[in-house]
Structure formats: structure tokens, C-alpha cells
């Protein structure tokens, strides 16, 4: 995002970094957390200012959401559904959805599971915040290097979606 400012006889181009939020839930094994870090790497490599927020460590302050142009959602599979902390985020979002800056975001999704991966059936919940970029990245168990590469690529793809 560029703005041009006139100063005397000069035009100065200002570049605003795109702000990206990686909102995820990770605890016991840290699988989703490792995936979140890889997505953040891809976003940073794409020139984004990235905030990582592990919802397991605290509720995301919903009033901060409008400042982000891009969002990456990461969840483990808990009983074939998203983590409760991310559902709580979506509940908070729903209450605020008609306020400026809460919709129209580009987003990606990644998830981990121990078998089955049926959480994929509930990922459409995030579609209310905007337009999904790319396909979700899945990890069965601990993410291997190929999954982490896919996560970095997903972050890069999301970063490029606004340029």
C-alpha cells in the first residue's frame, strides 16, 4: 500500500506495511504452533508486519481485529471441530461484524489432527470474515518439513493477495 505525500517540490512515496494476524490455538504437543510460526515466516518474507496470537494463552482482543488486513487461522482438531478458543473468537467477531473493519479480509486456514481430520468440515465458519486464499494446509500429527514448507508458502500466498 502506497501513499504519496507532497513536501515542497518533492513527492515522497510512503509504504505502509500490511498487517497480518496469525490467530491459532496450540497447547499439548505444539503442532499447530509450529505451523503458525511457519505461516508467519511466509507472511514476513512477503513484507507483512505479523502478530502471532495463541488463543490458548488468552482471548484475542476483538477491538484490535480491524487493524489487520490479512488473517491466518490455525486450529487443532478437537472432537471433529475447531478449538473452542477460536469458536469464542468467532462469537466475539459475530457480535462486532457490522462494525467497520471486521469483514472483507483475506484469510487462510491451517490445522493439525491426530487422525481423521474431520475439523476440515467446519473450516467454512471462517468464511464470514472475508475471502479465503489458497487451500487449507493439514498436518496429521507433528508437522514434517513438507507441511512446514506448505505453511510458509501459504503465508507467502496470503501476503501476495493484497499486493
pLDDT of the residue at 103: 97
Give the residue from 23, 77, 6, 39 showing the smallest Cα distance to 158.
Answer: 39
pLDDT mean over 23-31: 93
The hierarchical CATH code for the domain 17-160 is 3.40.50.360
Cell for 148? 512446514
Please report, for the chain, the start and end positions of each structural domain, with discontinuous segments joined by +: 17-160
Cell for 20? 497480518
Residue in the structure block whose three cell numbers are 490479512: 70
pLDDT mean over 69-78: 96
pLDDT of the residue at 154: 98
pLDDT digits (tens, 9 = 90+) for 98-150: 999 999 999 999 999 998 889 999 999 999 999 999 999 999 999 999 999 99
Half-sphere CA count of 79, side-chain side, radius 13 A:
2
Distance of CA 68 to the CA centre of its chain: 10
Amino acid at each position: 500500500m502506497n501513499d504519496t505525500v507532497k513536501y515542497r517540490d518533492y513527492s515522497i512515496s510512503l509504504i505502509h506495511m500490511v498487517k497480518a494476524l496469525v490467530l491459532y490455538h496450540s497447547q499439548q504437543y505444539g503442532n499447530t504452533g509450529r505451523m503458525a510460526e511457519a505461516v508467519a515466516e511466509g507472511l514476513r518474507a512477503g513484507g507483512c508486519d505479523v502478530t502471532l496470537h495463541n488463543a490458548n494463552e488468552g482471548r484475542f482482543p476483538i477491538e484490535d481485529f480491524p487493524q489487520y488486513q490479512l488473517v491466518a487461522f490455525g486450529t487443532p482438531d478437537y472432537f471433529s471441530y475447531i478449538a473452542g478458543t477460536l469458536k469464542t473468537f468467532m462469537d466475539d467477531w459475530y457480535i462486532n461484524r457490522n462494525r467497520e473493519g471486521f469483514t472483507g479480509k483475506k484469510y487462510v486456514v491451517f490445522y493439525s489432527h491426530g487422525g481423521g481430520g474431520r475439523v476440515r468440515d467446519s473450516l467454512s465458519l471462517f468464511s464470514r470474515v472475508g475471502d479465503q486464499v489458497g487451500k487449507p494446509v493439514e498436518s496429521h500429527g507433528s508437522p514434517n518439513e513438507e507441511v512446514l514448507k506448505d505453511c510458509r508458502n501459504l503465508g507467502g500466498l496470503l501476503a501476495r493477495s493484497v499486493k
